[in-house]
């Protein structure tokens, strides 16, 4: 007889790795219905969970690695299940057996060996800030400016990071940097199932924070933000974490930062999943943009909670995806539909994905992808 | 007496014994002091268990009993009864220890569970010897029953109570009973028609002599306790007498105000006077009223603005004019010259711009021939009243006095009647024929007029008395111009005061003041004088004003028109002197000003700028800087008190002057003010004069009858009210306009006027246009009705307050509120109902929102807001079945070719005949898609999808995504608690469950009882349920209530508080704390006293009493401390 037999030991193993919610899934398929993958091809988180409920073969297929952890399924799940954690547990199992897609082996290995997923030399971690003379973090400095690996090593994002530093300075924010000993926050690594590597990164960073007396962290990336507020908190981390858009919003509100040069541009803002759906930060970035004179902020139809993921999270950045299946391409089309000249983002992943999508579509003349910090800098008199 | 305690520990099968080592507990307690017997039993609550206790009491001489078993909520009563049967006072002898809910069920470790059980039992053994006898009180039960809610549950419960011979009072919030069930068309699974089975119940309730029906009513307060409740009910005024209304509906025919009909879920409209549906019980209509509209409140004359605007919207100009004339006899005049403070308050401005109320008034007045109006019936009186002055105040006083039957004579100094309306306002603003028409109408009622008769010159006040006038009204106005007080003003020819200038021109006696005129001032008189000068042939007219245009008191449109006619206005310019040569004006010296600090009037004071003087060359100067009354005629012997502004001093309410029987109003009292204020004051004076003449005591005379309190609650502005342009007057073309006195404003054409009137948002809902009063043949309508308070004494209460449906608007992905063809379940029920918006035809809307065609395919989305932790975790229980019913109705009515898709998670068809129904519906070709719909969109991906709604879901059985294009989407929205469930629960002493519905006392064994004795629940207020379950529960609740009524008495717990009067200091802290209002203060003795019948023994008073006077029986300090000591031992 051609039949499958439940293999509940596998189910139990997934549950132990943090996927215990899978038992409560009622298979309503809301997750599938709201998953952005189904805009481009069939992908069923429900189906994967179903297989996992019975420990059946198939959950470990390549589909498992599609999830970009955009959180849309989680916020809509009628049972309130932490679906990302269920899939992450399965990925952890795959990591343990070494069955990780080749494309992800690079970033995972690099994170393990070099403390960043970009195969960058740890020595060069602070090279991007050369000439900016950012003071070291020490007692008396308000915030640790935590460098996202992507801003440290990706040329496009280095520009954004440098702009951010200048804007923060103009706002009179007190911040300092750690040494080259700082390593990747580990968000993507953990979402790829690299729990062991994540553990190493976490241990290194928490130790360093402890040593330097870090209480308050300012992050450029929503992924770092999420890692410190949630993943690190799981292991006893207790930091006051602020995304830079929150800090700028506050500085503008208090009159410490006043964008004044007319920009004369139509801008649309893309809510990064890890800022929006994961952490409900929707308005501060918009308020910052609206504070820029002559900036006309227009919304894409999918905005805030309904924002369409760029496809970069959960390891998606390193996944090989055919051009017609890239969410970033869909998203850039949506941005173009608004008539905006600038697509503003507040996440290094989003910037990479959108820059790439704009090139794919050949729309470099029509749409610029810009970090919010860069827009603010353009509007400052003397920064 | 020696303590002889019997201790009994229960295994509860394995419920307790599975975790607690029962024998060990038994043996431990056996060694405690005073314990004579210690035993265990598999089920202590069983008959043998109880017998064991009884036997031991008798044979072993036990005087105390402790049972360790389940929660006292389960069996305390059982064991107390056993003790009582064996001759002990149960409150003295018995104590129960809970080792099931508190130990075995909540402890993982056997050792810990056993230890905890021993500790708790020891505590009980310590406390039980300190108990003392208490006697349960028996109180009589009032046999009447209150049923709150008139839906199917409430109706059924009331009918059952009534048929048992007891009286039931049904209180229903809506104007009709029936509830949700009567909104439905068919009911599952039998498909019988809801109204066929529901209306007979309604009729029975309405006709049963044992049932009192209080519809449109709400419970406001509940007091008392089981058997003896006192309930206060507010019967909201329905403004239609239930006894005489025949339900003919003539009132609704004529009512001009439309509102969305709640009964039809807003899919259809109703009038402000309405009945939910044709079979309503009672059949009586009701009128929905909110606070009086802001326009009405703003009108100085108190005109029912909303009312006449609505009548104009219907083209009923005559009715509109009659309504206006109840408060204002000069509609055509005020339609032209009123400053319309009403428009400043109009809430339409929140959407776009205020309704053009003033222009509408004119539009109505211009379309009615006053002479054709039916003459009012006047009951003649003998008293005569002299009205001196025929301006707006005098005309108004004369009109209303005449309507009251007085013989009125108007005295006017000028040759023509009208006062300032005639002499002050130029013809191009107020054509004399309009004024004549309205004055003629007033005269036509029998008012005598004597013109060219000036007070002080031709007659005196005492002459009037001598001529037999019983009272006098002075409306002599303010016709004297104020002086500029600058050099040249008095001596030069060519200086003419604006008031004099306008009067002479208006009376046809004046000429051009010169070639080049300068008018000084910024008010309406200044602008009028300037425009009149232009029309009299001046070549050049300027206005000089000290402040800026913003501060100019003249009406904005007047200024606009003046500027358009070529009048130049010099702002920030003050007069210095008038230059002359040969006694004639040759120029006007001015100085520039700038605005300084605000003065007393709040306007910024103009300050001259040194060295900025300049001269305007001119030959006429017309000062228009204010007016005052001419009181030169007042002689000392008149003893008429004046103010220092030469106005009459009057009593602020009665408007009586210092002379008996002499009243005054208008500009002569207030100084220069608006026409509408003068009219209002004239009417007020008429009322006061009437009271005076009828010998009423004016000292206690109330100005206006008491009006309902202003609540500021107005009709909500419907969402999506589209902005519409405000109607603006057509004006005479500017070219050549200034050459004639033809009326500048041409008024609104009829279609515009009616459209403009429809912009009114009906803030007060009912506009009180009184059309219904006229239409009602039996005189059932009474707009002055007030809410009534009804106090009821009942013995028990059944709550059947029903449910709400969740609003799916926030779940944006289903498109409700965005796509016109996404409907909630209740909306679809109305669509299928013969009395609904489509008369029962299942249709979808076109782009304009009109139901115009049957759907070719329909998607039904299950579990919208239910089975979803983001909204309601619970299953709404009825949706699967009604979804199948909808599917069947669509197949049946629209045609079997219609595709119907149900998107479901699980089909829950558990009731009698339900599975069979599902089988039948599936057989009809209804498609079931297993997967919750994720998205409804109108974004087509292929031509087939164009113009339709696409439902997207994963079919989990196929393991494929599905896109289903449909024409109609039905959302199975969850049943949820009423929005005020918490307030209602508090009022009746109930708790809410986690789901927000009323909590029953026990989910299985006490499904209709509640935490509050004598209060029962029935129907969907307790949780989502279908009609069969609702009716069954209603019958259960009725049974409980009937038991109480039939038995006639009830035992109340003796575990209540008492206050030791010797210790009580009378601070009354306890009274404020008591949640049950059970503590009263005995002022004579200066102590607080507990009403034991109301006290629930909660202990708040005992815990807070600073002097330790308040104690709770059975929970005294000694008993509680002994228990704690036992626990710690």
The helix/strand count (H/E) of chain B reads as 33, 51
**What are the chain B neighbours of A77 within 8 Å (beta carbons)?**
869
Query: Are residues A237 and A289 both part of a single domain?
Result: no
Q: Hey, what domains does chain B have and what are their CATH numbers?
A: 5-136 (3.40.50), 145-236+794-801+989-1050 (3.50.50.60), 376-479+629-714 (3.50.50.60), 483-627 (3.50.50.60), 804-976 (3.50.50.60), 1056-1112 (3.30.70.20)
Looking at the complex, report in whole angstroms how far the Cα of residue A79 sits from the nearest Cα belonging to chain B. Answer: 6
Residue A1 in any domain: the answer is no
A-chain CB neighbours of B959 within 8 Å are 44, 47
**Helical axes A155-170 vs A348-361, angle rounded to 10°:** 130
Assess B686–A contact: CB distance below 8 Å, yes or no. no
Q: Does A41 reside within a domain?
A: yes
**β-pairing, B273-274 with B269-271?**
unpaired
Comparison of pLDDT for A27 and B224, the residue scoring more? A27
**Residue A250 C-alpha, separation from nearest chain B C-alpha, in angstroms:** 29
The answer to whether A251 touches A257, Cβ cutoff 8 Å, is yes
**What is d(CA B1030, CA B1008) in angstroms, rounded to the nearest whole number?**
11
Compute the nearest-CA separation of A139 from chain B (Å).
Answer: 44
User: Which pLDDT score is estimated for B706?
Assistant: 52
pLDDT the model gives residue B708 = 61
Contacts of B812 in chain A (CB under 8 A): 306
CB A337 within 8 A of CB A300: yes
Among the listed residues B509, B565, B561, the one whose alpha carbon sits nearest the alpha carbon of residue B538: B565
Among B812, B932, B960, the residue with its CB nearest the CB of A30 is: B932
| CATH at residue A313 | 3.40.50.10700
Please indicate whether, in this complex, the C-beta atoms of A33 and B956 are within 8 angstroms of each other: no
**Residue A143 in domain:** yes
Sign of CA pseudo-dihedral B457, B459, B460, B461: negative
Test A34 with B812 for CB contact under 8 angstroms: no
User: Is the pLDDT assigned to residue B1086 strictly greater than 60?
Assistant: yes
Q: Which residue of B has its CA nearest to A306?
A: B813
Residues A144 and A183 placed together within one structural domain of the fold: yes
CATH number of the domain within which A25 lies: 1.10.1060.10
Residues with Cβ within 8 Å of A109's Cβ and at least 6 positions away in sequence, in order, are none
The predicted structure's pLDDT at residue B707: 58
Same domain, yes or no, for A89 and A168?
Answer: no
Residues 6+ apart with CB under 8 A from B808: B814, B816, B824, B864, B865, B971, B973
Smallest Cα distance from A283 to chain B, Å = 19
| A108 and A241 together in one domain | yes
pLDDT of residue B947: 93
Put simply, whether B694 touches A (Cβ < 8 Å) is: no
10 Å Cβ neighbour count for A1?
Answer: 2
Average pLDDT over residues B33-52: 95
Is the same domain home to A152 and A225? yes
Per-residue pLDDT tens digits for B352-404:
999 999 999 999 999 999 988 888 899 999 999 999 999 999 999 999 999 99
Q: How many domains does chain A have?
A: 3
Percent of chain B with pLDDT over 70: 99
Domain coverage including residue A344: 257-378
Q: What is the dihedral of CA B545, B547, B553, B555, to 10 degrees?
A: 70
β-sheet bridge partners, residue B955: B960
Q: For residue B247, how many other CB atoms are within 10 A of its CB?
A: 14
> Quick one: which of A175, A189, A259 has its CA closest to A217?
A175
Query: Of the candidates A33, A47, A75, which has its C-beta nearest B933's C-beta?
Result: A33
Q: Do A30 and B934 touch (CB under 8 A)?
A: yes
The alpha helices in A279-326, defined as continuous H runs, are 283-290
pLDDT digits (tens, 9 = 90+) for B318-365: 999 999 999 999 999 999 999 999 999 999 999 999 999 999 999 999
The answer to whether the CB atoms of A46 and B954 lie below 8 A apart is: yes
Q: Which residues of B touch A50 (CB under 8 A)?
A: 956
Same domain, residue pair A156 and A84? no
Whole-angstrom Cα distance, residue B398 to residue B446? Answer: 10
Instruction: Report B:861-880 residues touching A (Cβ under 8 A).
Output: 863, 867-870
Pairing verdict, β B1110-1112 and B1057-1059: antiparallel
- State percent of chain A over pLDDT 90: 94
pLDDT band of B1077, cuts 50, 70, 90: confident
Q: Classify residue B266 as left (phi > 0), alpha (psi -120 to 50) or beta.
A: left
Residues A108 and A243 in one domain: yes
Question: Which of A248, A279, A305 represents a domain boundary (last residue)?
Answer: A248
- CA B364 – CA B376 distance, rounded (Å): 19
Q: Which residue, of A96, A120, A151, is where some domain finishes?
A: A96
Contact in structure between B525 and B498 (CB atoms under 8 Å): yes
One domain, residues A87 and A127:
no
> Which residues in chain A have their CB less than 8 angstroms from residue B936's CB?
none
How does residue B702 score in pLDDT terms, banded at 50, 70 and 90? low
Q: List C-alpha distances in Å: B1037 to B147, B947, B1044.
A: 10, 51, 11
Q: Among candidates A218, A210, A229, which has minimal Cα distance to A145?
A: A218
Of the ranges B264-278, B854-868, B956-970, which one carries the lowest mean pLDDT score? B264-278
- In tens, the pLDDT along A199-231 reads 999 999 999 999 999 999 999 999 999 999 999
Q: Quick check: is A161 in a domain?
A: yes
Q: Is residue A3 part of a domain?
A: no
Are B931 and A28 within 8 A, CB to CB? yes
Instruction: Say if CB B400 and CB B408 are below 8 A apart.
Output: no
Chain B residues whose beta carbon lies within 8 Å of the beta carbon of residue A47? 956, 959
- Please tell me the number of Cα atoms within 13 Å of B409 on its side-chain side: 16
Residue of B nearest to A73 (CA): B934
Contact residues, chain B, for A42 at CB < 8 Å: 960-961
Mean pLDDT of all residues in B714-722: 85
Q: Do B868 and A78 touch (CB under 8 A)?
A: yes
Q: Please, are residues B520 and B484 in contact by the beta-carbon 8 Å criterion?
A: yes
Say whether B863 and A33 touch across the interface (CB within 8 A): no
* Residue B701 pLDDT exceeds 80: no
> How far apart (Å, rounded) are the C-alpha atoms in residues B498 and B482?
10
CB-closest option in B906, B932, B959 to A47 = B959
A316 located within any domain: yes
A26, A27, A33, A36: best mutation site toward chain B, by most B Cβ within 10 Å? A33
* A39 shares its domain with A143: no
Assigned token pair, A68 = 């970009």
Tally of CB atoms within 10 A around B583: 9
pLDDT at B704 over 60: no
Q: Express each pLDDT in B787-827 by its tens digit.
A: 999 999 999 999 999 999 999 999 999 999 999 999 999 99
- In this predicted structure, which of A309-318, A329-338, B442-451, B508-517 has the lowest mean pLDDT? B508-517
Query: Contact, B899 vs B849, CB < 8 A?
Result: no
**Residues of chain B positioned with their CB less than 8 A from the CB of A32:** 931, 934, 954, 961
B941 touches chain A (CB under 8 A): no
Tokens of B966: 């449909």
CA within 13 Å, CB half, B569: 25
Among candidates A26, A29, A306 on the partner chain, residue whose Cβ is nearest the Cβ of B954: A29
Q: Specify if A195 maps to a domain.
A: yes
CB-based contact A30 B812, cutoff 8 Å: no
Q: Which residue of A has its CA nearest to B962?
A: A33
Domain boundary pick from A231, A248, A265: A248
For chain A, the residues whose C-beta falls within 8 A of a C-beta of chain B are 26-30, 32-34, 38, 42, 44, 46-47, 50, 75-80, 306
Q: A235 and A115, same structural domain?
A: yes
Does the distance separating the beta carbons of B867 and A29 come in below 8 Å? no
pLDDT digits (tens, 9 = 90+) for A252-278: 999 999 999 999 999 999 999 999 999
Same domain, A134 and A220: yes
Kindly state whether residue A48 falls inside one of the protein's structural domains: yes
Domain shared by A294 and A194, yes or no = no
Q: Which site among B813, B930, B932 would you substitute to test the A interface, given the most A Cβ atoms closer than 10 Å to its Cβ?
A: B932
User: A116 pLDDT exceeds 70?
Assistant: yes
């Amino acid at each position: 007889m051609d039949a499958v037999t439940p293999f509940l030991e596998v189910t139990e193993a997934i549950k132990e790795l943090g996927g215990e919610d899978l038992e409560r899934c009622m298979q309503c398929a809301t997750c599938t219905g709201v998953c952005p993958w189904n805009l481009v091809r069939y992908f069923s988180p429900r189906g994967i969970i179903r297989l996992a409920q019975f420990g059946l073969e198939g959950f470990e297929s390549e589909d498992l690695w599609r999830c970009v952890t955009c959180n849309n399924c989680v916020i809509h799940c009628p049972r309130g299940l932490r679906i990302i954690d269920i899939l992450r547990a399965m990925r952890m199992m795959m990591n343990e057996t070494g069955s990780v897609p080749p494309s992800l082996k690079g970033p995972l290995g690099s994170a393990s060996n070099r403390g960043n997923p970009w195969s960058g030399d740890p020595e060069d971690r602070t090279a991007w800030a050369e000439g900016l003379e950012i003071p070291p973090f020490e007692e008396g400095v308000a915030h640790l400016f935590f460098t996202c690996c992507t801003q440290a090593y990706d040329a496009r994002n280095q520009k954004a990071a440098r702009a951010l530093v200048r804007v923060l300075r103009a706002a009179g924010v007190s911040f300092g940097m750690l040494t080259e000993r700082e390593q990747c926050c580990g968000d993507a690594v953990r979402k790829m199932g690299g729990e062991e590597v994540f553990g190493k990164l976490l241990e290194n960073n928490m130790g360093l924070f402890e040593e330097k007396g870090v209480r308050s962290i300012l992050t450029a990336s929503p992924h770092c933000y999420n890692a410190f507020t949630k993943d690190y908190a799981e292991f006893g981390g207790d930091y006051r974490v602020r995304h830079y858009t929150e800090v700028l919003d506050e500085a503008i509100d208090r009159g410490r930062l006043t964008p004044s040069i007319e920009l004369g541009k139509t801008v649309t803002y893309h809510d990064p999943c890890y800022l929006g759906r994961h952490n409900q930060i929707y308005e501060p970035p918009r308020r910052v943009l609206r504070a820029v004179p002559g900036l006309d902020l227009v919304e894409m139809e999918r905005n805030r909670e309904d924002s369409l993921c760029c496809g970069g999270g959960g390891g998606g950045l390193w996944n090989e995806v055919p051009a017609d299946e890239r969410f970033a391409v869909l998203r850039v089309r949506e941005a173009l539909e608004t008539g905006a000249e600038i697509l503003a983002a507040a996440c290094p992943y989003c910037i990479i994905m959108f820059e790439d999508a704009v090139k794919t579509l050949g729309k470099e003349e029509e749409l610029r992808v810009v970090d919010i910090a860069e827009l603010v800098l353009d509007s400052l008199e003397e920064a | 007496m020696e303590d002889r305690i019997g201790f009994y520990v229960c295994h509860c099968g394995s419920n307790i014994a599975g975790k607690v080592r029962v024998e060990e507990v038994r043996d431990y307690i056996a060694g405690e002091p005073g314990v004579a017997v210690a035993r265990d039993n598999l089920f202590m609550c069983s008959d043998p268990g109880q017998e064991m206790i009884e036997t031991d009491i008798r044979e072993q001489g036990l005087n105390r009993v402790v049972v360790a078993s389940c929660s006292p909520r389960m069996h305390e009563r059982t064991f107390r009864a056993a003790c009582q049967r064996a001759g002990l006072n149960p409150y003295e002898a018995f104590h129960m220890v809970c080792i099931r809910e508190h130990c075995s069920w909540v402890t993982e470790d056997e050792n810990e569970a056993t230890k905890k059980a021993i500790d708790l039992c020891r505590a009980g053994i310590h406390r039980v010897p300190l108990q003392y006898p208490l006697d349960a009180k028996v109180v009589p039960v009032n046999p009447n029953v209150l049923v709150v809610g008139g839906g199917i549950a409430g109706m059924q419960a009331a009918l059952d109570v009534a048929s048992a011979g007891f009286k039931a009072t049904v209180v229903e919030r809506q104007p009709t009973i029936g509830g949700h069930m009567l909104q439905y068309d068919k009911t599952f699974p039998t498909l019988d028609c809801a109204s066929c089975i529901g209306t007979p119940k309604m009729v029975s309730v309405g006709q049963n002599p044992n049932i009192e029906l209080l519809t449109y009513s709400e419970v406001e307060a509940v007091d008392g306790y089981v058997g003896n409740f006192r309930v206060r009910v507010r019967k909201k005024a329905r403004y239609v007498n239930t006894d005489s209304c025949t339900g003919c509906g003539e009132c609704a025919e004529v009512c001009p105000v439309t509102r969305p009909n709640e009964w039809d879920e807003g899919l259809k409209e109703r009038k402000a006077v309405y009945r939910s549906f044709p079979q309503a019980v009672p059949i009586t209509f009701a009128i929905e009223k909110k606070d009086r509209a802001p326009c009405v409140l703003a009108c100085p004359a108190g005109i029912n603005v909303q009312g006449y605007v609505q009548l104009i919207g219907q083209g009923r100009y005559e009715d509109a004019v009659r309504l206006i004339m109840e408060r204002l006899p000069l509609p055509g005049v005020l339609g032209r010259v009123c400053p319309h403070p009403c428009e400043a308050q109009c809430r339409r401005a929140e959407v776009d711009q205020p309704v053009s109320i003033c222009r509408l008034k004119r539009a109505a007045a211009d379309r009615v021939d006053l002479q054709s109006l039916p003459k009012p019936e006047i009951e003649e009186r003998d008293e005569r009243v002299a009205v001196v002055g025929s301006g707006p105040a005098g005309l108004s006083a004369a009109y209303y006095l005449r309507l009251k039957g007085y013989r009125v004579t108007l005295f006017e100094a000028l040759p023509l009647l009208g006062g300032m309306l005639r002499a002050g306002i130029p013809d191009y603003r107020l054509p004399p024929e309009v004024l004549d028409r309205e004055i003629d109408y007033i005269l036509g009622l029998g008012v005598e007029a004597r013109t060219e008769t000036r007070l002080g010159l031709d007659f005196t006040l005492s002459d009037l008395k001598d001529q037999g006038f019983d009272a006098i009204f002075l409306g002599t106005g303010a016709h004297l111009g104020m002086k500029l007080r600058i050099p040249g003003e008095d001596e030069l020819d060519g200086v003419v005061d604006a008031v004099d200038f306008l009067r002479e021109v208006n009376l046809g006696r004046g000429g051009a003041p010169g070639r080049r005129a300068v008018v000084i001032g910024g008010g309406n008189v200044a602008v009028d004088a300037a425009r009149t000068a232009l029309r009299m042939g001046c070549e050049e007219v300027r206005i000089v004003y000290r402040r800026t245009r913003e501060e100019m008191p003249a009406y904005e449109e007047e200024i606009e028109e003046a500027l358009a006619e070529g009048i130049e206005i010099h702002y920030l310019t003050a007069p210095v002197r008038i230059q002359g040569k040969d006694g004639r004006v040759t120029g006007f010296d001015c100085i520039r000003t700038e605005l300084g600090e605000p003065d007393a009037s709040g306007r910024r004071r103009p300050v001259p700028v040194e060295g900025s003087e300049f001269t305007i060359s001119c030959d006429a100067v017309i000062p228009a800087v204010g007016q005052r009354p001419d009181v030169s005629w007042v002689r000392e012997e008149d003893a008429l008190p004046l103010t220092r502004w030469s106005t009459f001093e009057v009593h602020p309410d009665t408007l009586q002057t210092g002379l008996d029987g002499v009243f005054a109003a208008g500009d002569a009292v207030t100084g220069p003010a608006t026409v509408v204020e003068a009219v209002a004051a004239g009417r007020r004076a008429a009322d006061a004069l009437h009271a005076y003449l009828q010998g009423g005591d004016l000292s206690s005379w109330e100005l206006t009858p008491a009006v309902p309190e202003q609540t500021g609650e107005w009709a909500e502005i419907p969402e999506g009210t589209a902005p519409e342009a405000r109607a603006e007057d057509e004006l005479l073309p500017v070219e050549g306009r200034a050459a004639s006195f033809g009326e500048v404003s041409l008024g609104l054409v009829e279609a515009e006027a009616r459209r403009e009137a429809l912009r009114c948002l009906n803030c007060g809902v009912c506009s009180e246009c009184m059309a219904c009063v006229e239409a009602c043949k039996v005189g059932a309508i009474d707009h002055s009705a007030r809410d009534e308070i009804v106090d009821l004494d009942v013995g028990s209460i059944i709550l059947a307050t029903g449910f709400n449906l969740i609003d799916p608007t926030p779940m944006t992905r289903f498109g409700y509120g965005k796509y016109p063809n996404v409907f909630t379940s209740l909306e679809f029920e109305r669509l299928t109902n013969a009395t609904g918006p489509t008369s029962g035809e299942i249709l979808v809307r076109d782009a304009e929102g009109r139901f115009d065609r049957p759907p070719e395919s329909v998607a039904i989305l299950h579990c919208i807001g239910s089975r979803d932790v983001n909204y309601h975790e619970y299953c709404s229980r009825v949706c699967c079945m009604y979804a199948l019913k909808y599917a069947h109705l669509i197949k049946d009515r629209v045609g079997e070719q219609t595709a119907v898709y149900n998107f479901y998670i699980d089909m829950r068809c558990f009731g009698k005949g339900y599975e069979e129904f599902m089988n039948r519906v599936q057989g009809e070709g209804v498609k079931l898609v297993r997967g919750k719909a994720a998205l409804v969109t109108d974004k087509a991906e292929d031509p087939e999808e164009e113009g339709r709604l696409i439902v997207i879901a994963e079919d989990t059985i196929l393991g494929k995504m599905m896109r289903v294009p449909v024409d109609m989407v039905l959302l199975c929205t969850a049943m949820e608690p009423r929005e005020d469930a918490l307030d209602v629960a508090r009022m009746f002493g109930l708790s809410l469950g986690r789901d927000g519905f009323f909590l029953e006392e026990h989910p299985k064994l006490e499904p209709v009882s509640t935490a509050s004795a004598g209060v029962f629940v029935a129907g969907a207020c307790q949780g989502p349920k279908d009609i069969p379950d609702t009716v069954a529960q209603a019958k259960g609740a009725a049974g409980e209530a009937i038991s109480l009524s039939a038995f006639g008495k009830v035992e109340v717990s003796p575990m209540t508080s008492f206050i030791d009067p010797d210790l009580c200091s009378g601070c009354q802290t306890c009274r404020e704390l008591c949640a049950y209002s059970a503590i009263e203060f005995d002022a004579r003795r200066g102590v607080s006293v507990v009403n034991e019948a109301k006290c629930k023994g909660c202990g708040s008073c005992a815990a807070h009493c600073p002097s330790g006077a308040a104690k709770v029986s059975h929970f005294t300090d000694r008993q509680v401390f002994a228990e704690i000591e036992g626990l710690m031992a």
